[in-house]
Amino acid sequence: MIGVVGAGRMGRIRSLTAKAHLQSELVEVVDNIAAHACSSAAETGWRAGTGWQKLLEREDVDAIVVATPHTTNPCFTTVWDAPITPS
């Protein structure tokens, strides 16, 4: 299951691309601007949220697509800089 952080132009493109893939299941899109998240959720049919931290806590999410401006990416790199363990 996939979550997307960012519901602007690139987030929309990434969300629709993931939705079109037959083997992916999208669960949530989050954006700090609630209206953007709601708009993307309405278009893709999945849940909207505003907190990427809560998306990280979801046990049903296997992958998170970060589609935010490059200026915010160091924040995510720091948070997610942990070894990946296969389940």
| Rounded Cα distance, 67 and 58, in Å | 18
Which residues share a beta bridge with 48? 29
Tracing tokens 């990427």 back to the chain, one arrives at: 52
Q: What are the boundaries of each domain within the chain?
A: 7-79
- pLDDT tens figures, 68-87: 876 665 455 545 555 555 55
Query: Hunting for tokens 């519901």 — which residue is that?
Result: 7
Report pTM: 0.73
Q: Tokens 């893709």 correspond to what residue?
A: 44
pLDDT at site 76: 55
CA-wise closest residue to 61 among 77, 74, 47: 47
**What pLDDT score was predicted for residue 41?**
83
- Provide the pLDDT for residue 87: 55
Give me the residues of the chain with pLDDT under 50, please.
Answer: 74, 78
Both tokens assigned to 17? 């691309």
pLDDT score recorded for residue 47: 86
